[in-house]
Structure 1
Amino acid sequence: MRLSTVILPVRPWHSGGRDEWLRAEQLGFHTAYTYDHLSWRTFRDGPWYGALPTLAAAAGVTGRIRLGTLVTSPNFRHPVTLAKELMSLDDLSGGRFTLGIGAGGQGFDATALGQTPWTPKERADRLGEFLPLLDRLLTEPSVDAEGAFYSAVEARNIPGCVQRPRVPFAVAATGPRGMRLTARYGQAWVTTGDPKIFETGTPEESREALRLQLEQLGKICAEAGRDATELEKVLLTGFTPDRGAPLESLDAFVDFAGRHIELGFTEIVVHAPIPDSDFASDPAVFERIATEAPAQLAGVRPA
């Protein structure tokens, strides 16, 4: 089981931000991710820094921990410029970068460039074109493409990624279209659970919804000729009916994580504490989870 963390880009680099990334490595987390947004929900009126520059800075002060976005979306990105930045981040990190990517949603990112918010179908259509083009841009030295939404003319990415054939893609998807993209292009699959039961559901209902998602992913992979066991299955916590309860104690987290590992998840991601926010938690408990939970969960296997 991999235990990873999300560090939201809300602290200035020289006033706590740098130390937080260093501490994540010291605590032994597998990966430290950050959200790739222009702003996000309750943090809208406070500090919020850019994901890719933050990850570049983190690459320069760490040496072991993997780094990544969770997740990037087409809302304000273009495959051509993003590919160049990803290739550079992979180089800066010495091949430690993972791209979390999804269709995005409504919110600040969806309108910051002046566009009308896309419907769920439009977001899925765009991701369906964005991801294949990004795959080409990161694996071919020069790309020409003309699509309905994204085009490239002699877009060059030489020498390519440190990781071969390219940086890994962790695709966030809960529906069949996104899961088909995962089966075709992903090295990992990401979910936050079933948003329809976040407010009113129970932990038991959430686990059943996740079991059905994993089952659907397995079927779609089989249809695509892909072995679903090749994919890492990543659960980003904090968005199931349990909310912050798993971070209330070491025992609570071990119970929560163990139940989800038994479902088939191979990576659990927890948010680094942010006081007075939706992600407030006890830093001492968070550090115990990072340092003690992996050993306690080592023997847990999918049921």
Structure 2
Amino acid sequence: MRLSTVILPIHRWHEQGREVWQRAEALGFHAAYTYDHLSWRTFRDRTWFGAVPTLTAAAAVTDTVRLGTLVTSPNFRHPVTLAKDLMTLDDVSGGRVVLGIGAGGTGFDATVLGQEPWTARERADRFGEFVALLDRLLTQGAVTERGTYYAAEEARNIPGCVQQPRLPFAVAATGPRGLALAARYGQAWVTTGDPALFEAGTPTQSRAAIRRQIERLGEACAAVGRDPEELERILLTGFTPDRNTPLESVDAFVDFAGQHAELGITEIVLHHPIPDSDFAVDPKVFERIATEGLAQLAG
């Protein structure tokens, strides 16, 4: 089991941002991620910075912690420009970047460029084309392609990623088309559980849903002749019925992590504490979980 954190891009770099990311490394987290949105939910009218510049700054002041997005989507990204940014970020970080990527939703990012919100089918169509083109852009020196939604004309990404053949993709998916993309292109798979259970479900129902998701991921891997054990299975916490339960105490975390490890989850991601928000947990407990949780789980 690996333990990671997600740091929302809300901190002014020279006031608190640098220290937050460096502290995440010092606490021993496997990875420190950030959300790739232009605004998000209750933070819409609060400070919110860009994901790629934030990760680039974090890369410059850390040495070992992996860095990434949870998650990037086609809502306001284009594969050609994103590939260039990712290649550069992988170089700056010395090969520590992982791209969390998903189909996107219907929130603020879905209309910020002036477009009508895409249907679920169109999001899935775009996501499939997006991931396939991004894979080519990050593994080939020059790419020309014209798809239904995205095109590239002699797009160059030289010298390529530090991580070869490219930086890893962590594909967020629960439906059959997304799981097929994870099986084909992913080095990891991301879930937040079953959204339908968030308000009225139970922890037991949530674990059963995650078990079914992992089974379907295995079926998607079998369909392309891939061993599902090749993929890390990441749970982003905070969106299951037990919400902040794993951050109530070290014991609560160990119980939560152990139950999900039994399902096949290999990495758990905890939100870094944010006062006056849904992620307002005790920073001291958070740090104890970071430093003691996995050891206690292993014991």
Tell me if both proteins adopt one fold, taking TM over 0.5 as the criterion.
Answer: yes
In the alignment, the residues of structure 1 paired with residue 10 and residue 142 of structure 2 have an alpha-carbon distance, to the nearest angstrom, of 36
Cα deviation code 1:136-157 (max 9, x no counterpart): 0000000000000000000000
Instruction: Give 3-state SS (helix, strand or coil) of 1:148's partner.
Output: coil
Q: Is the aligned partner of 1:60 residue 2:74?
A: no
Q: Is the aligned partner of 1:292 residue 2:292?
A: yes
Look up the match of 1:256. 256
Relative to the length of structure 2, the TM-score reads 0.99
In the alignment, the residues of structure 2 paired with residue 297 and residue 227 of structure 1 have an alpha-carbon distance, to the nearest angstrom, of 27
Instruction: Give 3-state SS (helix, strand or coil) of 1:199's partner.
Output: coil
Q: Using the TM superposition, give the Cα deviation of residue 84 of structure 1 relative to its aligned residue in structure 2, in angstroms.
A: 0.2
Q: Is the aligned partner of 1:191 residue 2:198?
A: no
Look up the match of 1:165. 165
In the alignment, the residues of structure 1 paired with residue 280 and residue 126 of structure 2 have an alpha-carbon distance, to the nearest angstrom, of 34
In the alignment, the residues of structure 1 paired with residue 53 and residue 179 of structure 2 have an alpha-carbon distance, to the nearest angstrom, of 29
In the alignment, the residues of structure 1 paired with residue 245 and residue 293 of structure 2 have an alpha-carbon distance, to the nearest angstrom, of 15
In the alignment, the residues of structure 2 paired with residue 124 and residue 172 of structure 1 have an alpha-carbon distance, to the nearest angstrom, of 12
In structure 1, give the amino acid aligned to 2:230: E
Look up the match of 1:283. 283
Q: Using the TM superposition, give the Cα deviation of residue 40 of structure 1 relative to its aligned residue in structure 2, in angstroms.
A: 0.3
Look up the match of 2:273. 273
Instruction: Give 3-state SS (helix, strand or coil) of 1:184's partner.
Output: helix
Look up the match of 1:11. 11
Cα deviation code 1:221-248 (max 9, x no counterpart): 1111010000000000000000111101
In structure 2, give the amino acid aligned to 1:62: T
Look up the match of 1:223. 223
Q: Is the aligned partner of 1:45 residue 2:39?
A: no
Q: Within 5 Å, which residues of 2 pair with 1:199-218?
A: 199-218=199-218
In the alignment, the residues of structure 2 paired with residue 196 and residue 121 of structure 1 have an alpha-carbon distance, to the nearest angstrom, of 19
Q: Is the aligned partner of 1:241 residue 2:223?
A: no
In the alignment, the residues of structure 2 paired with residue 52 and residue 149 of structure 1 have an alpha-carbon distance, to the nearest angstrom, of 23
In the alignment, the residues of structure 1 paired with residue 285 and residue 245 of structure 2 have an alpha-carbon distance, to the nearest angstrom, of 12
Instruction: Give 3-state SS (helix, strand or coil) of 1:285's partner.
Output: helix
In structure 2, give the amino acid aligned to 1:252: A
In the alignment, the residues of structure 2 paired with residue 142 and residue 287 of structure 1 have an alpha-carbon distance, to the nearest angstrom, of 45
In the alignment, the residues of structure 2 paired with residue 64 and residue 224 of structure 1 have an alpha-carbon distance, to the nearest angstrom, of 33
In the alignment, the residues of structure 1 paired with residue 219 and residue 81 of structure 2 have an alpha-carbon distance, to the nearest angstrom, of 34
Q: Is the aligned partner of 1:30 residue 2:18?
A: no
Look up the match of 2:99. 99
Same amino acid, percent of matched pairs: 74
**Pairwise CA RMSD:** 0.6
Cα deviation code 1:187-246 (max 9, x no counterpart): 000000000010000000000000000011111111110100000000000000001111
In structure 2, give the amino acid aligned to 1:125: D
In the alignment, the residues of structure 2 paired with residue 297 and residue 219 of structure 1 have an alpha-carbon distance, to the nearest angstrom, of 29
Cα deviation code 1:255-290 (max 9, x no counterpart): 001100010000000000000001110000000000
Instruction: Give 3-state SS (helix, strand or coil) of 1:152's partner.
Output: strand
Instruction: Give 3-state SS (helix, strand or coil) of 1:294's partner.
Output: helix
User: Structure 2 regions of 5+ residues with no counterpart?
Assistant: none
Relative to the length of structure 1, the TM-score reads 0.98
Instruction: Give 3-state SS (helix, strand or coil) of 2:46's partner.
Output: coil
In the alignment, the residues of structure 2 paired with residue 205 and residue 93 of structure 1 have an alpha-carbon distance, to the nearest angstrom, of 39
Cα deviation code 1:15-35 (max 9, x no counterpart): 111110000000000000000
Tell me the matched-pair count. 299
Q: Is the aligned partner of 1:80 residue 2:67?
A: no
In the alignment, the residues of structure 1 paired with residue 72 and residue 111 of structure 2 have an alpha-carbon distance, to the nearest angstrom, of 16
Cα deviation code 1:151-203 (max 9, x no counterpart): 00000000000000000000000011000000100000000000001000000
Q: Using the TM superposition, give the Cα deviation of residue 298 of structure 1 relative to its aligned residue in structure 2, in angstroms.
A: 2.4
TM superposition outliers: structure 1 runs of 4+ over 2 Å: none
In the alignment, the residues of structure 2 paired with residue 4 and residue 92 of structure 1 have an alpha-carbon distance, to the nearest angstrom, of 21
Look up the match of 2:153. 153
Instruction: Give 3-state SS (helix, strand or coil) of 1:160's partner.
Output: coil
In the alignment, the residues of structure 2 paired with residue 298 and residue 219 of structure 1 have an alpha-carbon distance, to the nearest angstrom, of 29
User: Structure 1 regions of 5+ residues with no counterpart?
Assistant: none
